[in-house]
A and B are shown apart, each in its own frame.
Chain A
Amino acid sequence: MLLLTARYSFANTKARALRGRRLTPEDFHFLIQARDLSGFFAYLATTSYQDVLSGKDIGNISPKSIERNLYTPLFEGYRKIADALKNSRSRQVILAMYSRFEAENLKIILRTIVAGRNRSAASPLLYPLGRLTRLAWDGLWNCKGPAELAGILHNSIFGQAIEHALPQFEAQGRIFPIEVALDLAAFRWLARAVDRLASKRDKNEAHDLLGRYVDILNCLWIIRLKVHFDMSPEEIVNYSLPGGKAIGLKGLHLLAKSKTVTEFLENLPESLSNKLARIRDWADFRPAFTSLLLRSLRKAFASFPFHVGIEAAYLLEKELEVQALISIMESKRQKAASKDIKRHVPVELLDEVAHV
């Protein structure tokens, strides 16, 4: 206990201080109520996101580029938290979480290379990863294909993952297998990093929080692959993420086989199905799961404070905040009504609006 206190007190203070800069329900209220997109940006410039917008001519920047820019504070947060965590094992958990975004950027580079497009067109789509990344991005852009990319990434967690996916990339003639392999590599690292945490309590807390997160992601992936990509259960199981808490392989298989929403709900573990009983449509799962996740993240801040889960919770919460912002921004672009926009934002971010 004393050791954990010593290990996490600085990082915890850092995480809590950073969390103090999160958008309040009042901020979300005004952002949703903004008359148009320029009103949205005008209000956003008064929040902790002002640095992201300062000096930029928003009108001349592509929407995707603005979206990516909104992630800058998140990656700054990753850097600060990683710097604050001197303990290498808990730092690994944060770096593993961060590697999900490295995987995303690698996918963008791969798509660009395979499609024969040029770098300048794809650059605005990249996440602004900042200084924490150790991958040689410039070298990656010069690759001729995935095999060369795997060679350059040989010493990273992604190298072997791409190598293993190459035969299927060649057989199927599309980069989907490599994309999945990259995601799996990042989550496999995350699961391993959690397993390697030195303290049992640290490990349990981290597994509890991140396991829940992986469960929710797996459920969302199953729905996406099933409903949107029409994939068979046997494929979906193989594409599921490792490191879940409440849903094992059998559970994932059952969910993948579920034909209706009701059947899906029945196959969910009780801890989840109880909270989602009202859902009748596949589309309603995403906001519901996001709300569930937000609630569990907030709970982490109110419980035992000295474990890596606190830092992870802050970073995930920030990530969801950015996603909510992007969702509002997109709705504003499409001139959606405020009440419709509200439906896409997790209710946890909107409550406590006491000023109106």
Chain B
Amino acid sequence: MFKAVKLTRVTIQCPEEQISPVMSVLGNMRLLHLIRIEETHLGKLGYVARVDRELLDHYTSLLTRTNRLIDGLHPTQPMPSVTKIPRPDKEIFRLKEVITRIEKEALSILEEREKTWQAIVQDQTLLDRLKLLEPAELDFDRLGSLKYATWMTGLIPEENLDRLEESLSDVYHALIPILKKDGKIVLFAMSLRDDENVLHRALKSAFWDPIELPDNLKGNIFEVTERTSRALEGLKARLSELDQQRKMLGEKYGTQLLETREIILLCSQLLKAQKKFGAIDHTYIITGWLPVDLFNELKKRIAEATMGKALIDQVDPEHIREVRSGILKIPILFNNPLLIRPFERLTTLYGTPSYKEIEPTVFLAISFLVLFGMMFGDVGQGAVLFAIGYYVFRRMFRFMDYGVILMECGVSSIIFGLLYGSVFGFEDLIPALWIHPMRHIDHFMKVSVLLGISIISLGFLLNLVNLLRQRRYGDLFSASGLAGALFYWLLAGLGIRYIFSENVSPVEVLLAKISAISLFMIMLLQRPVRSLLFHLRKGGRQRRLPKGIGITLFESLIEVLDDILRYMANTVSFVRVAAFGLTHVALFMAVFSLADMVRTAHGRGLSYWLVIVIGNLVIILLEGMVVSIQTLRLEYYEFFSRFFRGGGKPFRPLLEEKAG
């Protein structure tokens, strides 16, 4: 929980014919972060495996066929989760058979449905067109029998009619406006057959939008409309039958289709992952990071799948030269309990911890909730936050993590609400288990500063652990190391003693002075001394002092003073916890003052409660947002900056992103 999952670097060597079962095992294990062979010395020598294009193409074409069936049958079943990933080269045969079988049953229905749908669209379009022409009462039999005249129907922009008339003034013609629609005129145009080209050209240049009618229309426009409507009804009935059959097929094959698609996507992804593999002649090499605990399991499964033909070994990251020299970074796999996990988002927003660093999510989560609750303590509002969080958690899958954080903030707010005795700002409904912040401002402020000292101290401790784990022993003497921590605790202790007893004895002050000066000197001189030692070790005995030692000393002085000032500022910064807690109460007071004014004017009716409700909503939105930002600021700036360096690389498990 406090550190990332311990990883080991795994290398698998297997013959070409065994790559598929190996991939299947890796797919099933999932928790392998592949290292691109291209980035290793083997890759640089050109030993990079090729993706099995032919097999991948089979999967791509199968995916198209599956998607066509899924689009056609609209399965409504929930998305099945695939737990076991088969061998891609073997699985393709089974998948093809499954899809062919479903196609046999479904394609004829889907194709007929498509044709019926097109016929409906066609008839509907014809009906719409006929409706536009209805006022002209056209008789298609008579129009069809015309020998010397030609006719057409269509729309032109209203403003073009005059020009169209003029353009046809040299030929016999008739332009009969039928109706106006959306700035256009529905027009029946007629001319002698000999002038058909002139009519065409004129209409074309007047932005003619033809209403095309089939050649075989018989009877008058009303009869045609009647016939088409009847045909349309028949088609709709057939479509309904086909939809029923389609639904049944969807129910029958839906789960199977969705599962098939999942497997296809996973297999395709596995095949694409081959480009990260290495290959020498007919031997494949796969390398990546795996949680140490899973190594034996992986070894066993691969041995079973390949009948012992694959070689697998592991190397401790400590023994890898590239890791030691910092060229190769070990990815970070978080390992937090369910309720803490959503806070990983906030940690990674600041940075990804490096492998040798403390993983700070759990500290962040706890301190975040405490700080938030202190600033936003109210039972009622906490319950509202919880409800909103629950809604987000259940309904908005993408923001599920934020939903959980909101719920937890809600709980923290409720707990502090109980401590403050506040329910939607009413402080007389339940007794305060601790204090009413507004009535004990001094005490509340002291507690905030104490909380700040605790959080900063925790930051110091975590930094010490990091220094020891990373073997940066020299930094222990720096202002951010043990010397700085002791200095801070000395001053903090003195401050606390003064705040609570208001009486510090001269002996205590003297001891503090001596210790502080000693620690200050250590912090000040550690860099120049280290520089001197380095100089001597490098054989610089001919010169007593290394070049630039004066500058180093001066820089060290500035650095130490800066760090000490920042400790003070960081501690004082926590007064904001009390300030925002009090602001929360003050906002309630403002809301209640407004509500009282309303009550004086209109009595304790609907308006009074409306003010209370709206006031509470405004506080939740406004204060909730401000408090969240302030909490995050305290976390990042006062807490994380003490120990968190980041610069790590997140763990990307195989098959994390499926092909779309």
Known: A238-B163, A240-B163, A253-B167. A167 touches B207 (CB 8 A): yes
Known: A249-B162, A250-B166. A172 touches B204 (CB 8 A): yes
Is there an interface contact between B202 and A253, defined as CB atoms closer than 8 Å?
Answer: no
Known: A235-B202, A235-B204, A235-B205. A167 touches B210 (CB 8 A): yes
Whole-angstrom distance from the CB of A138 to the nearest CB of chain B?
28
Q: Which chain B positions have C-beta within 8 A of A171?
A: 204, 210
CB within 8 Å: A-B pair count: 63
Known: A160-B183, A253-B167, A253-B169. A234 touches B205 (CB 8 A): yes
Is there an interface contact between B184 and A238, defined as CB atoms closer than 8 Å?
Answer: no
Interchain CA distance A181-B163 in the complex, whole Å: 14
Interchain CA distance A237-B160 in the complex, whole Å: 10
Interchain CA distance A190-B163 in the complex, whole Å: 18
Whole-angstrom distance from the CB of B33 to the nearest CB of chain A?
38
Q: Which chain A positions have C-beta within 8 A of B204?
A: 168, 171-172, 235
Check if B168 is an interface residue, CB within 8 A of chain A.
yes
Check if B43 is an interface residue, CB within 8 A of chain A.
no
Which chain A residue shows the least CB distance to B156? A164
Is there an interface contact between B210 and A238, defined as CB atoms closer than 8 Å?
Answer: no
Q: Which chain A positions have C-beta within 8 A of B164?
A: 238
Whole-angstrom distance from the CB of B89 to the nearest CB of chain A?
40
Is there an interface contact between A238 and B160, defined as CB atoms closer than 8 Å?
Answer: yes
Is there an interface contact between B209 and A238, defined as CB atoms closer than 8 Å?
Answer: no
Check if B198 is an interface residue, CB within 8 A of chain A.
yes
Q: Which chain B positions have C-beta within 8 A of A113?
A: none
Interchain CA distance A167-B204 in the complex, whole Å: 10
Q: Which chain A positions have C-beta within 8 A of B162?
A: 249
Is there an interface contact between A232 and B160, defined as CB atoms closer than 8 Å?
Answer: no
Check if A73 is an interface residue, CB within 8 A of chain B.
no
Q: Which chain A positions have C-beta within 8 A of B334?
A: none
Check if B201 is an interface residue, CB within 8 A of chain A.
yes
Check if B442 is an interface residue, CB within 8 A of chain A.
no
Which chain B residue shows the least CB distance to A167? B209
B-facing residues in A238-267 (Cβ within 8 Å): 238-240, 242, 249-250, 252-253, 257
A-facing residues in B365-383 (Cβ within 8 Å): none
Q: Which of A160, A164, A238, A257 contacts B205, CB < 8 Å?
A: A238
Check if A129 is an interface residue, CB within 8 A of chain B.
no
Chain B positions 155 through 178: 1 when the CB is less than 8 Å from some CB of chain A, otherwise 0:
001011011101111100000000
Is there an interface contact between A237 and B209, defined as CB atoms closer than 8 Å?
Answer: no
Which chain A residue shows the least CB distance to B159? A188
Chain B, interface residues (CB within 8 Å), range = 20 to 34
Is there an interface contact between B184 and A164, defined as CB atoms closer than 8 Å?
Answer: yes
Check if B208 is an interface residue, CB within 8 A of chain A.
yes
Check if A177 is an interface residue, CB within 8 A of chain B.
yes
Interchain CA distance A114-B456 in the complex, whole Å: 63
Which chain A residue shows the least CB distance to B171? A234
Check if B482 is an interface residue, CB within 8 A of chain A.
no
Interchain CA distance A236-B205 in the complex, whole Å: 8
Check if B485 is an interface residue, CB within 8 A of chain A.
no
Whole-angstrom distance from the CB of B57 to the nearest CB of chain A?
28
Interchain CA distance A257-B163 in the complex, whole Å: 15
Known: A164-B157, A253-B169. A232 touches B163 (CB 8 A): no
Q: Which chain A positions have C-beta within 8 A of B198?
A: 232, 234
Check if B206 is an interface residue, CB within 8 A of chain A.
yes
Is there an interface contact between A177 and B207, defined as CB atoms closer than 8 Å?
Answer: yes
Check if A305 is an interface residue, CB within 8 A of chain B.
no
Interchain CA distance A171-B206 in the complex, whole Å: 13
Q: Which chain B positions have C-beta within 8 A of A233?
A: 167, 170
Q: Which chain B positions have C-beta within 8 A of A164?
A: 157, 183-184, 207, 209
Which chain A residue shows the least CB distance to B169? A253
A-facing residues in B263-314 (Cβ within 8 Å): none
Interchain CA distance A220-B209 in the complex, whole Å: 28
Whole-angstrom distance from the CB of B198 to the nearest CB of chain A?
6
Is there an interface contact between B166 and A249, defined as CB atoms closer than 8 Å?
Answer: yes
B-facing residues in A151-174 (Cβ within 8 Å): 160, 164-165, 167-168, 171-172
Is there an interface contact between A239 and B205, defined as CB atoms closer than 8 Å?
Answer: yes
Whole-angstrom distance from the CB of B241 to the nearest CB of chain A?
35
Q: Which chain B positions have C-beta within 8 A of A235?
A: 167, 201-202, 204-205
Q: Which chain B positions have C-beta within 8 A of A253?
A: 166-167, 169
A-facing residues in B143-198 (Cβ within 8 Å): 157, 159-160, 162-164, 166-170, 183-184, 198
Q: Which of B159, B202, B209, B210 contacts A234, CB < 8 Å?
A: B202
Q: Which chain B positions have C-beta within 8 A of A237?
A: 163, 166-167, 202, 205
Known: A164-B184, A232-B201. A238 touches B206 (CB 8 A): yes
Which chain B residue shows the least CB distance to A253? B166
Is there an interface contact between B202 and A238, defined as CB atoms closer than 8 Å?
Answer: yes
Whole-angstrom distance from the CB of A172 to the nearest CB of chain B?
7
Interchain CA distance A160-B160 in the complex, whole Å: 14
Which chain A residue shows the least CB distance to B204? A168
Is there an interface contact between B208 and A167, defined as CB atoms closer than 8 Å?
Answer: yes
Which chain B residue shows the least CB distance to A248? B166
Interchain CA distance A242-B168 in the complex, whole Å: 18
Whole-angstrom distance from the CB of A238 to the nearest CB of chain B?
4
Interchain CA distance A33-B487 in the complex, whole Å: 86
Known A234-B168, A239-B205; 12 more pairs at CB < 8 Å: A164-B183, A165-B207, A168-B209, A188-B159, A234-B167, A235-B202, A237-B202, A238-B205, A242-B159, A250-B166, A252-B166, A257-B170
Q: Can you report 23 A-B residue pairs in the complex whose CB atoms are below 8 A from each other?
A: A164-B183, A164-B207, A164-B209, A165-B207, A167-B208, A168-B204, A171-B204, A181-B207, A234-B167, A235-B202, A235-B204, A235-B205, A236-B205, A237-B163, A237-B166, A237-B202, A237-B205, A238-B202, A240-B163, A249-B162, A249-B166, A253-B167, A257-B170
